[in-house]
Structure 1
Amino acid sequence: MTLIEHLPFDTDEGIASRARIGLMVLATDFTIEHEWRAIMAGLDGVALYESRILNDAQITPETLRAMEPRIAAATDVILPGSPLDVVAYGCTSASMAIGEEQVFARIREVRPHARCTTPITAAFAAFRALKARRIGVLTPYRADVNRIVAEYIAARGFEVPVFGSFNEQDDGIVARITPASIKRGVETILSHAAVDAVFVSCTSVRLAEAARGIEAETGVPITSSNHAMAWHALRLAGVDDVMPQWGRLFEAQIA
C-alpha cells in the first residue's frame, strides 16, 4: 500500500458563506425543523444548525418556565467555539412565560455576539413589517397559557380583538392537527372581527406551507411561530431575499 500524506488542499467559506443560524428546538417538537428547512432550502450559503432543549410535552406555565435554566447549555452545543450570526429559541409560549429579555440573557451567556430571536419576538417584528396593529390570534394552548399570550401581546401595544384556541396541551397531538383544521380556525377568527393580520402561535403547528394560499383566499396576511421566526432569523443575519412563495411577510424587510 502506498500512503500519501499531507496532500495539498484549498478552503472556501463552506456551506455557511452568507449566514450561520442556530436553532434551539424543543425536545417534543415535530414541526419546526421541517418548516425551516423547506423555507431555507433554496438559499445558497445559508446554513441551519440545531440543538434540542429538554421540555415537558404538557404545556403549562410551570413547565414552560422550567426551561430557562437549560437555555444556555442548549445554545452552547451548537457549533461550540464557532461564531453564529443568529440564535433562535424555538418556543413561543415559553418566550412569553419566561420573557424575551430573559431568554436573550441566557443565550448571551454563551453567545454574547449573536443576534437573538424567539417566535414572539419575530411575530412582533412581522406585525411591524406588515403594518398590522389589530391581530387575530390562533393557538393550540389551554386557557392559562392563552391568558399569558393574550396579555403579553396586548402589553406590547397591539390589539387582539379575537383570540381562538384548540385547547390542546399535548405537544404531540398539536403536531398532528391538520393544515385544513388550521385553515378552518383562521377562517373562524376572521369571521368574528376585522384584523390586520393573523398570528398562529406554537412551533408544533403546521402553517408555513399553507400561508400563501390562505392569504390568497382571505386577503389577510398570516404568519405563525415558525414562519415568522424563520423570516426574522434570515433578516437578522442579513439575508434579504424576497421569497413571495412563502407569503407576504417574506416580501418584507424588518421595519
Structure 2
Amino acid sequence: MKRHVQGPEPQTGVGIVAPYDFARDRELWRWVPPTVSLFIARTGGSPEGDDLDSASALNRPATVRRPTREVCAVGAEVVIYACTACSFVGGTLGEAALRQAMLDAGAPRALTTSGAAVSALRTVKAQRVAVVHPYERLLGNRLRDFLCTAGFDVVACTPLGLPVREVLTAGYAEVAELIRAGDRPDADAIFVSCTALPTYDLIAPLEAELGKPIVTANQATVWAALRALDLNATGPDQTLLNL
C-alpha cells in the first residue's frame, strides 16, 4: 500500500543581510512560523578598529548589495539588514541610504534593524525609553541621537560593560542583568540594542517582572520583516507580538 507523503509546505522567503560575525541565526528562526524560511547572507569583514569604526565601515551602501542579491536570488520577498549599529551609526540619512541600496540590488522591500526598532517602539506606544546596549561610549551616543531624532525621550542609555570581543558570546545572565540595571522608573519601555545579544527567552519574564514592554533588536528584526508581508512573528507572551 502506497503512502502519500504530504509537503513540504510552500514557503515565504525572508532575506536577512547579517554582519560578517553574526552568530544568532538560531535565535532569529525561533520567531519565524513554519511557513517562512530565512535566507541569511553575511557581509564582508570590516577593518580593525573600535566598534564605531567597525559599524561605520558596515554602514556603507556597497556593503549590503552583494548579500542582498544573494538572498533575492533564492526568493526573498523582503530583505532586512540585521545589524542595529550598522544601520543607525549614519543617522537617519545613512539608514535610508542602506534601504535604497537594498532596493537597487533587487529587494522587493527593504528594512533595517534600527528602523524596525523605531517602528516596534512606536507600536508599543513608547515615549520615554530606557536603552541598553553593548557599545563603547561614542557608538552609544550615536544610538541615543538616532532614537531622539525619531522622537523618543531616551531617559537612560546603559552599556553592557563587557570588552567588545566578549559581546558575541554573552549569555542570558549578562543580558538579563543589563536589562534590569538599565531600567528606570520613568521609562515606559526598554530597548535592547544589538543583534549579537540573545533575548528570546528573556523578553516575556522580564516584561512581567519590570511591568513594561521590552523591544529587542532581533525581535524587532523578525517582527518588522514578517509584518511587511502581513505575517505574524511567534513569541509567547511578548508584548510587541500581541499587539
User: What TM-score do the two structures reach when normalised by structure 2?
Assistant: 0.88
Report the CA distance between 1:246 and its aligned residue: 5.3
Within the alignment, does 1:231 sit opposite 2:229 as a pair? no
TM-score (norm 1): 0.84
Alignment partner of 1:84 out of 53, 76, 81 = 76
- The 1-side partners of 2:144 and 2:10 are apart by 37
More deviation, 161-170/199-208: 161-170
Counterpart in the other structure of 1:176: 169
Correspondence 1:234-245 to 2 at 5 A = 234-240=226-232, 243=234, 245=236
- Out of 196, 205, 212, the residue aligned to residue 204 of structure 2 is 212
The answer to whether 1:104 aligns with 2:99 is: yes
CA distance in 1, matches of 2:85, 2:72: 26
- Deviation of 1:115 after TM superposition, in Å, equals 1.6
The alignment-based identity, stated in percent, is 22
Structure exhibiting the larger radius of gyration computed from Cα positions = 1
Structure 2: gaps of 5 or more residues: 1-5
Match of 1:49, SS state, is strand
- C-alpha distance after superposition, 1:47-103 (max 9, x if no partner): 1111011233755323222222221011111142x5422101011011012321011
Answer whether contact 2:39 2:76 (CA < 8 A) is retained.
Answer: no
Aligned-partner Cα distance in 2 for 1:77–1:44: 22
Hey, what's the Cα distance between the residues in 1 that align with 2:76 and 2:186? Answer: 40
Distance change (3 Å), C-alpha of 1:169 and 1:95: farther
Cα 1:14–1:155 shift into 2, 3 Å: same
Query: What amino acid is aligned across from residue 55 of structure 2 in structure 1?
Result: L
| Structure 1 residue 175: Cα displacement | 2.2
The separation in 2 between residues aligned to 1:169 and 1:106, in whole angstroms, is 32
Partners of 2:189 and 2:213 within 8 A in 1 = yes
Root-mean-square deviation (CA, aligned residues, Å) is: 2.1
Name the CA distance, whole Å, in 1 between partners of 2:54 and 2:9: 36
CA distances 1:3-50 after superposition (whole Å, capped 9, x unpaired): xxxxxxxxx996544x2100011111222x11111121xx23211111
- Structure 1 position 136, deviation (Å): 0.5
Of residues 4, 7, 18, the one that matches 1:25 is: 18
Tell me, yes or no, if the aligned pair for 2:175 and 2:199 is still in contact at 8 Å.
Answer: yes
Counterpart of 1:151 in structure 2: which amino acid?
D
Matches of 1:118 and 1:169, distance apart in 2: 25
Query: Partner of 2:3 in structure 1?
Result: none
Give the number of aligned pairs.
Answer: 232
**Contact kept in structure 1, 2:72 and 2:106, CA below 8 Å:** no
Would the aligned equivalents of 1:143 and 1:167 in 2 still touch at CA under 8 Å?
no
